[in-house]
Amino acid sequence: MAGERLLDVKNLEVSFYTYAGKVHAVRGVSFHVNRGETLAIVGESGCGKTVSVQSTIKLIPMPPGKIEGGTVLFDGKDLTAMSDRDLQSVRGAEIGVIFQDPMTSLNPTMTVGRQITEGLIKHQRLSAQEAKRRAIEMLSLVEIPNPKERFRQYPHQFSGGMRQRVMIAIALSCNPKLLIADEPTTGLDVTIQAQILDLMKSLQTKLDTSIILITHDLGVVSKLADRIVVMYAGKVAEAGTSEDIFYNALHPYTQALLKSVPRLHEETKRELLAIPGTPPDLFVPPKGCAFAPRCSYAMRVCLDHQPGDFAAGGSHTVACWLMDPRAAHVRERHAGRAEDAGARGGAS
């Protein structure tokens, strides 16, 4: 049923224990995915987006990783309370994963056909012959030409785009309820990226699968996502619908990300802006807002206290002290600057 929550993550805490100390990689992250929708999780490299999502099905190495708090409810089941053995019946069968680099995810010593049939035999209890027929159907579904011949070939005999199609076929072969796509178009040229995204959208409609899209590319997000979660330094900075994020971004970090992306439809040329500074050291997380040292609107409270999630209408939430009623005068100045930048073609 559309709108019903399929995955509900609350206050997830994940750390990595290294020789140099404890890395607080994910710090109280909450998000949800509804049935049949696409949720995009975006942010700079190292912001915790991949760790947050992979931790939901315990794909992070443990040790050094450790899930230190939070709940993960998937289709009514608490995944954090499941043993690794029980989770094996969820991974692949109910939750499929497309990893970032298909060449390192696919086994170079096995044919792609065998790699698809493995999951079908394990999770669907199909015979070898039935699994082969289903695997060829999946190769055809992801628009790989000559699927019967390709079934017998090895990953090195496929181009980068075709290997990613094979990964999609493997992830969707058992008709999962949720598909996790971790940077699925990284390393592909622009034309192939568009084809992969169109394919994922088409397959989502056909199979009624929910998708979590992990990416740093806002161009990818605009094409596919229904809702967007923006992460920074292991926390959620802003969350809302695609329209909220692209047309009414309120967190300075989200606005900075948007200003760093070229827009082909704009008539006037504008300078692409880089975000000054670097993300914080998560060995010693800041006591205040993690973005404050890089933010031109930072106030004293930003340095000393972490902001809560402020409601901005509908499902739109913003973790920024600018949204506090007591910061109205700063917010007005902030909005004025954004309008000025927009007039110059620099803001959305």
From first CA to last CA, the distance across the chain in angstroms is: 34
Q: Mapping DSSP to helix (H, G, I), strand (E, B) and coil, where does residue 221 land?
A: helix
DSSP 8-state secondary structure symbol assigned to residue 3? T
Band of residue 196 on the pLDDT scale cut at 50, 70, 90: confident
pLDDT of 87-97, one tens digit each? 888 888 899 99
Which residues, at least 6 apart from 198, have a Cβ–Cβ distance to it below 8 Å?
none
Q: What angle do CA 304, 301, 341 make, to 5 degrees?
A: 125
For residue 109 the two structure tokens come to 């010593």
Considering the entire predicted model, what is its pTM?
Answer: 0.87
For residue 57 the two structure tokens come to 């099905």
Band of residue 264 on the pLDDT scale cut at 50, 70, 90: low
Calpha distance 52→266 (Å, rounded): 35
Residue in this structure with the two tokens 């443990």, named with its chain if needed: 62
Mean pLDDT score, 141-168:
91
Looking at residue 220, its pLDDT comes to: 79
Looking at residue 346, its pLDDT comes to: 37
Contact (Cβ atoms closer than 8 angstroms) between residue 180 and residue 91? no
pLDDT of 60-98, one tens digit each? 988 899 999 999 999 989 998 888 888 888 888 899 998
Mean pLDDT score, 307-332:
87
For residue 246 the two structure tokens come to 């692209």
Which residues, at least 6 apart from 203, have a Cβ–Cβ distance to it below 8 Å?
141, 142, 168, 172, 209
Q: Is the pLDDT of residue 175 over 70?
A: yes
pLDDT of 289-312, one tens digit each? 999 999 988 889 999 999 999 999
Mean pLDDT score, 320-337:
76
Looking at residue 14, its pLDDT comes to: 96
Q: What is the mean pLDDT of the chain?
A: 86
